[in-house]
Structure 1
Amino acid sequence: MSVAKKDYKRITTQSLIEMKANAEKISMLTAYDFTMAGMVDAAGCDVILVGDSASNVMAGHETTLPITLDQMIYHASSVVRAVKRALVVVDLPFGSYQSDPKEALRSSIRIMKESGGHAVKLEGGSEIKDSIKKILHAGIPVMGHLGLTPQSIYKFGTYTVRAKEEAEAEKLLEDVKLLERLGCFAIVLEKIPAALAEKAAKSVNVPIIGIGAGGGVDGQVLVIHDMLGMNNEFSPRFLRRYLNLYEQMTGAIGNYVADVKSSDFPNASEQY
């Protein structure tokens, strides 16, 4: 028996848990600025992630590690000002929570107060449980992130699929259940076998959002620049491009340049 979709005027952490209970898939995309966030929100996306992937797609760094807390707050503030419906989740950047639960709480408080974001996301399981507890005890919602955790790329040494071996798969399942027990409202699983991700989703009541984790989870997330084809150098198996904006935008810019050079722009109707 199908369940009618609820028309959410504003998405909250509780909305996502209800959506999982009603077998309604959750849509999630990244955004880092006012204009893009407004379009993502207007299109009906449930969750907007202000990801530390801004380090890559906005600043051109090779990894997510260089982005700072101040920079994340700047991006998150820009996004929040555009959003009317979506839940805005903000990544805690590398170095702002791993070493000390008190530092994790201070970082989270700064994000919530200075950006107006609705929740924070942290990478890791049992290793950071004390930081997660500290943040949750302060009343700040936490989204977990397991599997391929990009902030640990130098530990992994590669961006290949995680948890293919039994020991790592078992630890992932344990961490999923731990994050639920601690009070995380949702968990991102990145680049793990689809069967394992589906098993994880069925083992907990909180939503599991996948990226490269198959279709058996409760929702999906992609980086907006990848999904729109603005980044033409990144082509993992899990990515579906819905546009090829790289070609369309460079073509349009090229036409503009040509029109300026030829004095075709501006024409008589485009001046005062």
Structure 2
Amino acid sequence: MSVHTTIRRITVPQLRSFKGHRKIAALTAYSSVMASLMDEYLDFILIGDSTAMVAYGQPNTLAFTVEQVAAHTAAVVRATQRVCVIADMPFASYHESPEQAFRNAAYLLAQGGADAVKLEGGSVMAPTIEFLVQRGIPVLAHVGLMPQHVNTMGGYKAQGLDEETARIVMQDAKAVEAAGAFGVVLEGVAHTVGTDVTQAVSIPTIGIGASASCDGQILVTEDMLGMNGTRVPRFVKRYTDLDAQIKRSVERYADEVRTGVFPDMSHCFGVKRDA
């Protein structure tokens, strides 16, 4: 008699329960191939609006659309079985009103298959977060350095390096916690601020350029794998250099095509192979 084992995805309540018990490991993904390779090892995958820059060559994240996020989210969901899948809400998809945010968040869950959404903003977005959570949409908040605020912040600048911005980060984190967010991403904040916020809130903090004290960490996968050229943020650790490996492989392929080495008869159809 065969025994069928059902693999269940990590749920939002499980992610929240990890605080104080174990660290949360997360990365970004936007393709089924990459997501399938990650599924066994991570707690959640974020379809980040960083996809606009990494996959589409945009100068920032602002041009990404809800429809694009949903399509990439669906690809990740189809390729995975156990990770929690969280979709980023792109710029201008939730700022107008809580009702607009609900329509777009619901689209990402219904059409993309996401388990939750992520949105940027602290105190100012707290009413929207509460509106979504009360209507069955789990929200991962995002405070500190917020890429969608690149124009108002004057670039990708670390936050919490002075008393005033440190106070704002703490205030924002507490506001999203009170609004019902199940976790909060702390991006580009001073180490001490990341540590203080993690101790001050009851929900998991996910660091990206924050503090080792955060309850979890996330990076853009292409940064971590060495696929984004020579410039990388200070907070990124490169675990390999796929840029170089891919270039070597493509160079070898091109050389073999031009010299007639590839394909050989073993790669052709209708050819009898030796026993």
Fold-level match, TM-score > 0.5? yes
Task: Give the percent of matched residue pairs that are identical in Structure 1 and Structure 2.
Answer: 39
Q: Distance in 2 between matches of 1:68 and 1:10?
A: 26
Task: With the length of structure 1 as denominator, give the TM-score of the two structures.
Answer: 0.94
Q: Distance in 2 between matches of 1:169 and 1:152?
A: 17
1:110 aligned to 95, 107, 116, which one?
Answer: 107
Asked if structure 1 preserves the Cα contact closer than 8 Å seen for 2:127 and 2:179, the reply is no
Partner residue in 2 for 1:5: none
Deviation per residue, 1:176-204 (Å, 9 max, x gap): 11111111101000011111101100111
Asked if structure 1 preserves the Cα contact closer than 8 Å seen for 2:20 and 2:215, the reply is no
Kindly provide the amino acid, as one letter, of the partner of residue 75 in structure 2.
Answer: S
Is 1:19 the counterpart of 2:22 in the alignment? no
- Greater Rg by CA: 2
Deviation per residue, 1:192-226 (Å, 9 max, x gap): 11111011001111100000002011110000111
Asked if structure 2 preserves the Cα contact closer than 8 Å seen for 1:226 and 1:234, the reply is no
Deviation per residue, 1:10-56 (Å, 9 max, x gap): 3111212221131x1110100001111111113x1111000000000
Is 1:150 the counterpart of 2:147 in the alignment? yes
Secondary structure of the residue that 1:251 maps to in structure 2? helix
Partner residue in 1 for 2:202: 205
Partner residue in 2 for 1:36: 34
Alignment of 1:50-199 (within 5 A): 50-199=47-196
Greater shift, 156-165 or 245-254, is seen at 156-165
**CA shift at 1:58, angstroms?**
0.5
Kindly provide the amino acid, as one letter, of the partner of residue 39 in structure 1.
Answer: L
Superposition RMSD on alpha carbons, in Å? 1.1
Greater shift, 116-125 or 158-167, is seen at 158-167
Alignment of 1:179-258 (within 5 A): 179-258=176-255
Q: Where do 5+ consecutive residues of structure 2 fail to align?
A: 1-6, 270-275
Q: Distance in 2 between matches of 1:170 and 1:79?
A: 37
Task: With the length of structure 2 as denominator, give the TM-score of the two structures.
Answer: 0.93
Q: Where do 5+ consecutive residues of structure 1 fail to align?
A: 1-7
Q: Which runs of 4+ in 1 moved over 3 A?
A: none
Kindly provide the amino acid, as one letter, of the partner of residue 109 in structure 1.
Answer: A
**CA shift at 1:9, angstroms?**
4.9
